[in-house]
Homo-oligomer: A and B are copies of this chain.
Amino acid sequence: MTEERTRAGTYPRYPLVENRTQARIMALVHAEARPSSRGQITEALDVSRSKVSGEVSRLMELGLLAEEGLAESDGGRRSTLLSIPRSAGLIAAIDLGATSIDVALTTLGGEIVARKGEPADIKDGPKPILRRVKEMLGELVEEQGTHPDEVLGIGVGVPGPVEQAAGVLRSPPIMPGWDRFPIRSAFAGEYAAPVFVDNDVNVMALGEHWGGVGRGVDNLLFIKVGTGIGGGIIADGRLYRGTQGCAGDIGHICVDPNGPVCTCGNLGCLEAMAGAPAIVLEAERRAREGRSPVLAEILEEKGELTAVDVGRAAGLGDYEALQVVRRSGRLIGQVLATLVSVLNPSLIVIGGGVSQIGHSFLAEIRSAVYRRSLPLATRNLPIVLSELENDAGIVGASVLAAEGVLTVPS
Protein backbone atom coordinates (compact mmCIF):
# COMPACT_ATOMS: atom_id res chain seq x y z
CA MET A 1 0.00 0.00 0.00
CA THR A 2 2.80 2.35 0.87
CA GLU A 3 5.02 0.66 -1.65
CA GLU A 4 3.13 1.81 -4.69
CA ARG A 5 3.76 5.46 -3.82
CA THR A 6 7.48 4.99 -3.30
CA ARG A 7 9.89 6.85 -5.54
CA ALA A 8 11.09 3.92 -7.62
CA GLY A 9 12.03 5.84 -10.73
CA THR A 10 8.78 7.74 -11.06
CA TYR A 11 10.26 11.23 -11.34
CA PRO A 12 8.85 13.74 -10.82
CA ARG A 13 5.81 14.12 -8.62
CA TYR A 14 4.62 17.49 -7.45
CA PRO A 15 4.20 18.22 -4.67
CA LEU A 16 6.87 15.87 -3.40
CA VAL A 17 5.38 15.44 0.07
CA GLU A 18 2.18 13.69 1.08
CA ASN A 19 0.85 15.82 3.90
CA ARG A 20 1.30 18.97 5.84
CA THR A 21 3.50 17.44 8.51
CA GLN A 22 5.88 16.06 5.90
CA ALA A 23 5.92 19.48 4.27
CA ARG A 24 6.72 21.13 7.58
CA ILE A 25 9.51 18.65 8.26
CA MET A 26 11.05 19.17 4.83
CA ALA A 27 10.65 22.92 5.09
CA LEU A 28 12.45 22.86 8.42
CA VAL A 29 15.31 20.65 7.24
CA HIS A 30 15.63 22.77 4.11
CA ALA A 31 15.50 26.00 6.09
CA GLU A 32 18.15 24.78 8.52
CA ALA A 33 20.54 24.24 5.62
CA ARG A 34 22.38 21.69 7.74
CA PRO A 35 21.54 18.24 9.13
CA SER A 36 18.85 18.16 11.81
CA SER A 37 17.89 15.47 14.31
CA ARG A 38 14.43 14.07 14.88
CA GLY A 39 14.51 15.69 18.30
CA GLN A 40 15.12 19.14 16.89
CA ILE A 41 12.27 18.64 14.47
CA THR A 42 9.97 17.48 17.25
CA GLU A 43 10.69 20.59 19.24
CA ALA A 44 10.39 23.01 16.35
CA LEU A 45 7.15 21.56 15.02
CA ASP A 46 5.48 20.91 18.36
CA VAL A 47 4.27 17.42 17.49
CA SER A 48 5.08 14.17 19.22
CA ARG A 49 8.35 12.33 18.81
CA SER A 50 6.61 9.28 17.43
CA LYS A 51 4.77 11.34 14.84
CA VAL A 52 8.02 12.86 13.63
CA SER A 53 9.68 9.48 13.65
CA GLY A 54 6.92 7.98 11.54
CA GLU A 55 6.82 10.76 8.98
CA VAL A 56 10.60 10.82 8.79
CA SER A 57 10.58 7.08 8.02
CA ARG A 58 8.10 7.75 5.25
CA LEU A 59 10.21 10.62 3.90
CA MET A 60 13.23 8.33 3.88
CA GLU A 61 11.20 5.77 1.96
CA LEU A 62 10.32 8.54 -0.49
CA GLY A 63 14.02 9.31 -0.78
CA LEU A 64 13.58 12.89 0.43
CA LEU A 65 15.56 12.44 3.62
CA ALA A 66 18.57 10.35 4.54
CA GLU A 67 20.39 9.61 7.75
CA GLU A 68 23.82 11.14 7.86
CA GLY A 69 25.96 10.45 10.88
CA LEU A 70 25.37 11.18 14.52
CA ALA A 71 25.17 14.45 16.41
CA GLU A 72 27.28 15.23 19.45
CA SER A 73 25.70 13.73 22.54
CA ASP A 74 23.56 16.07 24.60
CA GLY A 75 23.84 13.97 27.75
CA GLY A 76 22.34 10.78 26.43
CA ARG A 77 22.06 8.69 23.33
CA ARG A 78 23.38 10.55 20.31
CA SER A 79 20.76 11.54 17.76
CA THR A 80 21.08 10.57 14.14
CA LEU A 81 21.18 13.50 11.80
CA LEU A 82 18.88 13.86 8.83
CA SER A 83 19.54 15.72 5.64
CA ILE A 84 18.22 16.04 2.13
CA PRO A 85 20.43 13.72 0.05
CA ARG A 86 21.72 14.47 -3.41
CA SER A 87 19.70 11.43 -4.54
CA ALA A 88 16.43 13.14 -3.58
CA GLY A 89 16.63 15.00 -6.84
CA LEU A 90 17.94 18.24 -8.28
CA ILE A 91 16.78 21.80 -8.69
CA ALA A 92 17.53 23.86 -11.77
CA ALA A 93 18.37 27.37 -10.65
CA ILE A 94 18.38 30.05 -13.32
CA ASP A 95 19.43 33.63 -12.84
CA LEU A 96 18.73 35.92 -15.78
CA GLY A 97 20.42 39.28 -15.49
CA ALA A 98 20.20 42.23 -17.85
CA THR A 99 23.46 41.11 -19.46
CA SER A 100 24.03 37.57 -18.27
CA ILE A 101 22.66 34.08 -17.98
CA ASP A 102 23.59 31.93 -15.00
CA VAL A 103 22.34 28.39 -14.73
CA ALA A 104 23.05 25.88 -12.01
CA LEU A 105 22.03 22.49 -10.77
CA THR A 106 21.64 22.33 -7.02
CA THR A 107 20.49 19.62 -4.69
CA LEU A 108 17.02 19.90 -3.23
CA GLY A 109 18.87 20.91 -0.09
CA GLY A 110 20.32 23.97 -1.80
CA GLU A 111 23.88 22.86 -2.40
CA ILE A 112 25.30 23.93 -5.76
CA VAL A 113 26.29 20.87 -7.77
CA ALA A 114 27.38 22.53 -10.98
CA ARG A 115 27.01 25.87 -12.67
CA LYS A 116 27.52 27.71 -15.92
CA GLY A 117 27.39 31.37 -16.76
CA GLU A 118 27.85 33.51 -19.81
CA PRO A 119 27.11 37.02 -21.01
CA ALA A 120 23.87 37.60 -22.89
CA ASP A 121 21.60 40.48 -23.71
CA ILE A 122 18.14 40.06 -22.23
CA LYS A 123 16.88 42.48 -24.86
CA ASP A 124 17.31 39.73 -27.46
CA GLY A 125 13.89 38.59 -26.27
CA PRO A 126 12.50 35.54 -24.55
CA LYS A 127 12.82 32.96 -27.29
CA PRO A 128 16.57 33.06 -27.99
CA ILE A 129 17.42 33.68 -24.34
CA LEU A 130 15.31 30.81 -23.06
CA ARG A 131 16.60 28.56 -25.82
CA ARG A 132 20.13 29.26 -24.65
CA VAL A 133 19.10 28.71 -21.04
CA LYS A 134 17.72 25.31 -21.91
CA GLU A 135 20.89 24.45 -23.83
CA MET A 136 23.05 25.38 -20.86
CA LEU A 137 20.82 23.45 -18.50
CA GLY A 138 20.92 20.46 -20.81
CA GLU A 139 24.71 20.58 -20.84
CA LEU A 140 24.80 20.65 -17.06
CA VAL A 141 22.40 17.73 -16.82
CA GLU A 142 24.50 15.77 -19.26
CA GLU A 143 27.80 16.62 -17.60
CA GLN A 144 26.42 15.44 -14.29
CA GLY A 145 25.25 12.22 -15.82
CA THR A 146 21.71 12.73 -14.65
CA HIS A 147 18.37 12.60 -16.40
CA PRO A 148 16.08 15.61 -17.01
CA ASP A 149 13.41 13.84 -14.97
CA GLU A 150 15.63 14.04 -11.94
CA VAL A 151 15.08 17.80 -11.96
CA LEU A 152 12.27 18.27 -9.47
CA GLY A 153 11.80 22.00 -9.74
CA ILE A 154 12.98 24.96 -11.78
CA GLY A 155 13.54 28.37 -10.22
CA VAL A 156 13.98 31.42 -12.42
CA GLY A 157 14.98 34.95 -11.48
CA VAL A 158 14.28 37.64 -14.09
CA PRO A 159 15.13 41.35 -14.06
CA GLY A 160 11.58 42.69 -14.03
CA PRO A 161 8.31 42.58 -12.10
CA VAL A 162 6.66 39.16 -12.06
CA GLU A 163 2.97 38.53 -11.62
CA GLN A 164 3.00 35.50 -9.34
CA ALA A 165 -0.34 33.95 -10.27
CA ALA A 166 0.66 33.45 -13.90
CA GLY A 167 4.43 33.53 -13.50
CA VAL A 168 4.79 36.13 -16.22
CA LEU A 169 6.56 39.46 -16.44
CA ARG A 170 4.40 42.56 -16.39
CA SER A 171 5.56 45.62 -18.32
CA PRO A 172 9.26 45.05 -17.70
CA PRO A 173 11.04 48.32 -18.44
CA ILE A 174 14.27 46.84 -19.77
CA MET A 175 12.95 43.67 -21.37
CA PRO A 176 11.11 44.35 -24.61
CA GLY A 177 9.23 41.29 -25.84
CA TRP A 178 9.04 39.64 -22.45
CA ASP A 179 5.74 41.21 -21.39
CA ARG A 180 3.42 38.36 -20.42
CA PHE A 181 5.68 35.79 -22.06
CA PRO A 182 4.80 32.36 -20.61
CA ILE A 183 8.19 31.45 -19.17
CA ARG A 184 6.80 28.40 -17.39
CA SER A 185 5.69 26.63 -20.52
CA ALA A 186 9.08 27.16 -22.16
CA PHE A 187 10.40 24.25 -20.12
CA ALA A 188 7.33 22.08 -20.56
CA GLY A 189 8.63 19.76 -23.27
CA GLU A 190 11.94 18.70 -21.78
CA TYR A 191 11.21 19.03 -18.08
CA ALA A 192 8.12 17.86 -16.25
CA ALA A 193 9.16 19.86 -13.19
CA PRO A 194 7.13 22.87 -12.05
CA VAL A 195 8.66 26.28 -12.83
CA PHE A 196 8.76 29.10 -10.29
CA VAL A 197 9.51 32.59 -11.58
CA ASP A 198 10.25 35.73 -9.60
CA ASN A 199 12.05 39.01 -9.84
CA ASP A 200 15.84 38.61 -9.73
CA VAL A 201 16.30 40.87 -6.72
CA ASN A 202 13.53 39.12 -4.80
CA VAL A 203 15.26 35.87 -5.59
CA MET A 204 18.59 37.21 -4.35
CA ALA A 205 16.91 38.38 -1.15
CA LEU A 206 15.54 34.88 -0.72
CA GLY A 207 19.02 33.45 -1.22
CA GLU A 208 20.64 35.79 1.25
CA HIS A 209 17.87 35.10 3.76
CA TRP A 210 18.23 31.36 3.39
CA GLY A 211 21.96 30.96 3.26
CA GLY A 212 23.76 34.26 3.56
CA VAL A 213 24.22 36.96 6.18
CA GLY A 214 20.43 37.14 6.47
CA ARG A 215 20.00 33.63 7.86
CA GLY A 216 17.25 33.68 10.46
CA VAL A 217 16.68 37.43 10.15
CA ASP A 218 12.94 38.03 9.94
CA ASN A 219 12.94 41.56 8.57
CA LEU A 220 15.60 42.25 6.05
CA LEU A 221 16.15 44.43 3.09
CA PHE A 222 18.36 43.25 0.26
CA ILE A 223 19.63 45.91 -2.12
CA LYS A 224 21.19 45.07 -5.43
CA VAL A 225 23.35 47.71 -7.00
CA GLY A 226 24.50 46.95 -10.50
CA THR A 227 23.44 48.32 -13.84
CA GLY A 228 20.06 48.66 -12.23
CA ILE A 229 19.21 49.19 -8.59
CA GLY A 230 16.53 47.15 -6.88
CA GLY A 231 15.43 45.88 -3.52
CA GLY A 232 13.99 42.70 -2.09
CA ILE A 233 11.95 42.74 1.09
CA ILE A 234 11.76 39.94 3.63
CA ALA A 235 8.98 40.91 6.04
CA ASP A 236 8.13 38.73 9.03
CA GLY A 237 10.23 35.98 7.51
CA ARG A 238 8.45 35.91 4.18
CA LEU A 239 9.24 37.50 0.85
CA TYR A 240 6.93 40.45 0.27
CA ARG A 241 6.15 40.94 -3.41
CA GLY A 242 3.45 43.62 -3.49
CA THR A 243 0.35 43.75 -5.64
CA GLN A 244 1.91 43.60 -9.08
CA GLY A 245 5.10 41.95 -7.92
CA CYS A 246 7.10 45.14 -8.09
CA ALA A 247 7.54 45.82 -4.38
CA GLY A 248 11.09 46.87 -3.58
CA ASP A 249 11.59 48.43 -6.96
CA ILE A 250 13.57 51.36 -5.63
CA GLY A 251 15.64 52.06 -8.73
CA HIS A 252 13.10 54.51 -10.05
CA ILE A 253 12.54 56.54 -6.93
CA CYS A 254 13.20 60.16 -7.84
CA VAL A 255 16.17 61.59 -5.98
CA ASP A 256 16.62 64.74 -8.04
CA PRO A 257 13.79 66.25 -10.09
CA ASN A 258 16.46 67.97 -12.17
CA GLY A 259 18.57 64.89 -12.64
CA PRO A 260 19.43 63.06 -15.85
CA VAL A 261 16.95 61.09 -17.92
CA CYS A 262 16.53 57.49 -16.83
CA THR A 263 15.89 54.46 -19.02
CA CYS A 264 12.34 54.55 -17.64
CA GLY A 265 11.79 58.01 -19.11
CA ASN A 266 11.57 59.95 -15.84
CA LEU A 267 14.14 62.36 -14.50
CA GLY A 268 16.62 61.81 -11.70
CA CYS A 269 15.81 58.23 -10.76
CA LEU A 270 18.14 56.65 -8.21
CA GLU A 271 19.24 54.15 -10.83
CA ALA A 272 20.12 56.88 -13.31
CA MET A 273 22.20 58.72 -10.73
CA ALA A 274 23.86 55.96 -8.72
CA GLY A 275 23.88 52.80 -10.84
CA ALA A 276 26.95 51.44 -12.59
CA PRO A 277 26.39 53.41 -15.83
CA ALA A 278 26.04 56.64 -13.84
CA ILE A 279 29.27 55.92 -11.99
CA VAL A 280 31.07 55.24 -15.26
CA LEU A 281 29.64 58.32 -16.97
CA GLU A 282 30.54 60.62 -14.12
CA ALA A 283 34.04 59.15 -13.86
CA GLU A 284 34.62 59.48 -17.60
CA ARG A 285 33.47 63.08 -17.46
CA ARG A 286 35.91 63.88 -14.67
CA ALA A 287 38.67 62.01 -16.48
CA ARG A 288 38.07 63.98 -19.67
CA GLU A 289 38.03 67.23 -17.75
CA GLY A 290 41.54 66.29 -16.64
CA ARG A 291 40.63 66.23 -12.99
CA SER A 292 41.84 62.71 -12.41
CA PRO A 293 45.06 61.52 -14.05
CA VAL A 294 44.50 58.00 -12.72
CA LEU A 295 41.09 57.65 -14.32
CA ALA A 296 42.30 59.36 -17.47
CA GLU A 297 45.10 56.86 -17.83
CA ILE A 298 42.78 53.84 -17.51
CA LEU A 299 40.37 55.44 -19.93
CA GLU A 300 43.23 56.05 -22.32
CA GLU A 301 44.36 52.43 -22.11
CA LYS A 302 41.01 50.67 -22.37
CA GLY A 303 38.95 53.20 -24.26
CA GLU A 304 36.27 52.96 -21.62
CA LEU A 305 35.81 52.68 -17.88
CA THR A 306 33.90 50.23 -15.73
CA ALA A 307 32.50 50.71 -12.25
CA VAL A 308 35.17 48.31 -11.00
CA ASP A 309 37.88 50.51 -12.54
CA VAL A 310 36.49 53.50 -10.71
CA GLY A 311 36.40 51.52 -7.49
CA ARG A 312 39.98 50.43 -7.96
CA ALA A 313 41.11 53.98 -8.62
CA ALA A 314 39.25 55.11 -5.50
CA GLY A 315 40.96 52.33 -3.55
CA LEU A 316 44.32 53.61 -4.80
CA GLY A 317 43.46 56.98 -3.33
CA ASP A 318 42.31 58.87 -6.40
CA TYR A 319 40.31 61.79 -5.09
CA GLU A 320 37.94 62.17 -8.03
CA ALA A 321 37.18 58.45 -8.25
CA LEU A 322 36.51 58.44 -4.53
CA GLN A 323 34.08 61.33 -4.93
CA VAL A 324 32.20 59.46 -7.65
CA VAL A 325 31.95 56.32 -5.53
CA ARG A 326 30.87 58.32 -2.53
CA ARG A 327 28.22 60.19 -4.46
CA SER A 328 26.64 56.92 -5.50
CA GLY A 329 26.77 55.59 -1.95
CA ARG A 330 25.33 58.79 -0.55
CA LEU A 331 22.37 58.79 -2.93
CA ILE A 332 21.62 55.15 -2.23
CA GLY A 333 21.97 55.80 1.49
CA GLN A 334 19.49 58.66 1.28
CA VAL A 335 16.88 56.39 -0.25
CA LEU A 336 17.71 53.62 2.21
CA ALA A 337 17.15 56.02 5.08
CA THR A 338 13.59 56.39 3.87
CA LEU A 339 13.20 52.64 3.50
CA VAL A 340 14.46 52.15 7.02
CA SER A 341 11.78 54.50 8.33
CA VAL A 342 9.13 52.68 6.34
CA LEU A 343 10.18 49.07 6.83
CA ASN A 344 12.13 49.14 10.09
CA PRO A 345 14.27 46.14 9.09
CA SER A 346 16.83 44.52 11.33
CA LEU A 347 19.40 44.10 8.58
CA ILE A 348 20.30 45.62 5.25
CA VAL A 349 22.33 43.54 2.82
CA ILE A 350 24.01 45.19 -0.15
CA GLY A 351 24.74 43.04 -3.17
CA GLY A 352 25.20 43.31 -6.91
CA GLY A 353 28.28 44.16 -8.91
CA VAL A 354 28.75 47.69 -7.67
CA SER A 355 28.67 46.55 -4.03
CA GLN A 356 32.18 45.14 -4.52
CA ILE A 357 33.48 48.54 -5.60
CA GLY A 358 35.31 49.26 -2.38
CA HIS A 359 34.90 50.02 1.27
CA SER A 360 34.12 53.71 0.91
CA PHE A 361 30.96 52.87 -1.01
CA LEU A 362 29.52 50.92 1.92
CA ALA A 363 30.85 53.45 4.39
CA GLU A 364 29.05 56.26 2.60
CA ILE A 365 25.77 54.30 2.50
CA ARG A 366 26.06 53.63 6.21
CA SER A 367 26.78 57.19 7.12
CA ALA A 368 23.86 58.49 5.04
CA VAL A 369 21.44 56.01 6.62
CA TYR A 370 22.58 56.57 10.18
CA ARG A 371 22.51 60.32 9.72
CA ARG A 372 18.98 60.49 8.45
CA SER A 373 16.97 57.73 10.08
CA LEU A 374 15.25 57.61 13.43
CA PRO A 375 17.64 56.52 16.18
CA LEU A 376 15.26 53.77 17.32
CA ALA A 377 15.25 52.17 13.90
CA THR A 378 19.01 52.37 13.38
CA ARG A 379 20.10 51.49 16.90
CA ASN A 380 20.91 47.92 15.94
CA LEU A 381 20.82 48.05 12.19
CA PRO A 382 23.81 46.41 10.54
CA ILE A 383 24.38 47.34 6.91
CA VAL A 384 26.58 44.69 5.39
CA LEU A 385 27.76 43.34 2.07
CA SER A 386 26.22 40.24 0.55
CA GLU A 387 27.88 37.04 1.66
CA LEU A 388 26.85 34.99 -1.32
CA GLU A 389 28.02 37.60 -3.84
CA ASN A 390 27.57 36.11 -7.30
CA ASP A 391 25.78 33.07 -5.95
CA ALA A 392 22.89 34.97 -4.36
CA GLY A 393 20.73 34.71 -7.48
CA ILE A 394 21.45 31.04 -8.05
CA VAL A 395 20.98 30.07 -4.42
CA GLY A 396 17.80 32.13 -4.23
CA ALA A 397 16.36 30.55 -7.38
CA SER A 398 17.09 27.15 -5.89
CA VAL A 399 15.37 28.13 -2.64
CA LEU A 400 12.37 29.51 -4.52
CA ALA A 401 11.92 26.24 -6.41
CA ALA A 402 12.73 23.93 -3.49
CA GLU A 403 10.23 25.69 -1.22
CA GLY A 404 7.73 25.48 -4.03
CA VAL A 405 7.99 21.75 -4.64
CA LEU A 406 8.13 20.95 -0.93
CA THR A 407 4.95 22.86 -0.11
CA VAL A 408 1.73 20.89 0.12
CA PRO A 409 -0.96 22.85 -1.69
CA SER A 410 -3.95 22.37 0.68
Contact A343 to B247, CB < 8 A, known contacts A240-B236, A264-B374, A376-B161:
yes
Give the shortest distance, in Å, between A206 (CB) and chain B (any CB): 15
A360 at the interface (CB under 8 A from B): no
Residue from B46, B243, B339, B375 in contact with A342 in the complex, judged by beta carbons closer than 8 Å: B339
CB-CB contacts of A320-360 with B at 8 A, as 1s and 0s?
00000000000000010111011111100000000000000
Chain A contact surface mostly: loop
A374 touches B341 (CB 8 A): no
Q: Which of A209-242 contact B (CB under 8 A)?
A: 218-219, 231, 233, 235-236, 238, 240-242
As for how many copies of this chain the complex holds, the number is 2
B377 near A249 with CB under 8 A, answer yes
CA distance A164 to B134 in the complex (A): 48
A238 to B63, CA, bound (A): 36
**Taking A219-B243, A242-B219, A337-B254 as contacts, is the C-beta distance between A374 and B343 under 8 angstroms?**
no
Interface residues on A, range: 35 or more
List, in ascending order, chain B residues with CB within 8 A of A84's CB.
none
A246 within 8 A of B: yes
10 A-B residue contacts at CB 8 Å?
A233-B342, A236-B240, A240-B240, A241-B344, A243-B344, A247-B343, A253-B342, A254-B337, A254-B372, A264-B374
A46-B410, A266-B372, A335-B338 are known; give 8 further A-B pairs, CB within 8 A: A219-B242, A235-B240, A236-B240, A240-B240, A245-B344, A249-B374, A249-B377, A254-B372
